[in-house]
Homo-oligomer: A and B are copies of this chain.
Amino acid sequence: MSEFRGYTGKSLEFLKNNRITVGDNVKILADLTYLGIIMPRYEHSDDSHLVLKLKSGYNIGLEIEKIKKIEITSSPKKNIEKVESVEKNPNLPKILLLSTGGTIASKVDYRTGAVTPVLSAEELNSSVPELSKIANMDAEVLFSEYSENIMPEHWLKIADKLKEHSNSDYSGIIIAHGTDTMHYTSSFLSFALAGFPIPIALVGSQRSSDRASSDAALNLIGAVKFLIDCKTNGVYIVMHQDENDETIACHFGTRVRKNHTSKRGAFQTVGDDPAFIVVNEQVQRNARNNFFKVKEFQPRIKINTKVALIKYHPGYDPSLLEKIIEMNYDGIIFEGTGLGHIGKIMYGNVKKANEKGIFLGMTSQCIDGRVRMTVYESGRDLLDLGIIPLENMIPEVALVKTMWTLGNFQDRNEIKKIMLENIASELSD
């Protein structure tokens, strides 16, 4: 029954009556005329829709009752169901795709319905055939984890693998990654591989590829175009800019957050436009973009994870900070209020932490804007207690940067210096 995979009830009957099976290229007349491929369906499917993959790579759901006419234009089922070997075109640039898991790096097995990792360039090209027209894709699976299970150890693995390719002939490297913690990973790579000679794009998707409106293919295509045409290096997150399919946004890996749980345009550059956008196949640079990048590639792939993030709030019990001190943490990032404040109730423990030599950095839970601790008395008190104001560094980025700095540098003054130095556009004007 794989030819009607996932279709039941009314939708199954509709397909049978029209002698159409999954994988057929069809032309559908409904409110508009649609050209595309009938996609299989999976769990939680209703029986009143067909799912159609449009040429753009976008999946849509069409209500059967509204379909006036459907006809087969061709039946290239085998192209979909079977892995085909893709001929390489020596004139195209080379792109490497490293997959780490998450929806983006998965391919639905049309026989079993299971989501499996993309294993080869061939499989990748068969799920997003547009890629083979713009680049010669190599692919490698590093591991397969949902991103909430990505740990700092995984960051090290990814960085080590990238380092191996620092002298390769790739035009750029894609890291397929779950979206939940993609911005933490992009931060670490930005610091650990600052100055890496070719651009790196982390790409995810917010909708799995078997669902209508999956963004996986467009994000991948956008990322490949970006890597080929951006004419710069650095670590970026490349995702839909918003709900439409016109624009793919390329965010600096250290200035970006997942700001929405489910929207396709979930990632945003904090306080600015994205560094680049890909629109109408053109890569456009943000004119105001004067972000900073180090020139020389000097990998530093070590980490110290004894860093805590404290989001201060009314009712925060300072004995929690006391426990962190007792547990021999080496760094604490505060997500303070407003311009970078925490209540007076914390001062005693902060003093103790400072005396113990723990690195203390201040960011703001406002997320946008700049920490300024000289405006109010309370900020000045905190400066006296040894807390370093981290400018407009995003709290999550400050956390990762502290882990990285404490892993690669020992001297206390040097640590402070590095934390305030712009390594990978984590600070902006």
- What is the interface of chain A, defined by CB distance below 8 A to chain B? 146-152, 154-155, 179-181, 184-185, 257-263, 266, 305, 307-309, 311-317, 319-320, 323-324, 327, 335-345, 364-372, 376-378, 396, 399, 403
Contacts and interface: CB of A to CB of B under 8 A. Distances in A.
Given A155-B314, A261-B338, A266-B366, 14 more contacts: A146-B341, A148-B312, A149-B344, A150-B314, A150-B343, A180-B337, A258-B365, A260-B369, A261-B366, A261-B372, A262-B369, A309-B313, A323-B327, A367-B367
A180 B341 contact: yes
Contacts of A336: 148
Contact of A151 (B258, B259, B315): B315
A181 B313 contact: yes
**List of 4 A-B pairs having minimum Cβ-Cβ separation, nearest first:** A261-B369, A180-B337, A180-B338, A148-B341
B366 A260 contact: yes
Given A181-B313, A314-B181, A317-B305, A378 B146 contact: yes
Contact of A261 (B260, B307, B368, B396): B368
B179 A338 contact: yes
B327 A319 contact: yes
B147 A337 contact: yes
Nearest to A151: B314
Contacts of A309: 311, 313, 316
B403 A148 contact: no
A350 to B, nearest CB: 13
Chain B CB within 10 A, most for which of A266, A317, A372: A317
A258 B311 contact: no
Given A148-B338, A313-B396, A320 B308 contact: yes
A266 B338 CA distance: 9
A262 B378 contact: no
Contacts of A307: 315
Contacts of A364: 261
Contact of A403 (B146, B315, B370): B315
A241 to B, nearest CB: 15
A258 B338 CA distance: 7
A343 B377 CA distance: 39
A315 B308 CA distance: 9
Given A308-B320, A313-B181, A314-B155, A148 B372 contact: no
A407 to B, nearest CB: 11
10 contacts: A146-B376, A147-B337, A148-B312, A148-B336, A148-B341, A149-B343, A259-B367, A260-B366, A262-B372, A311-B311
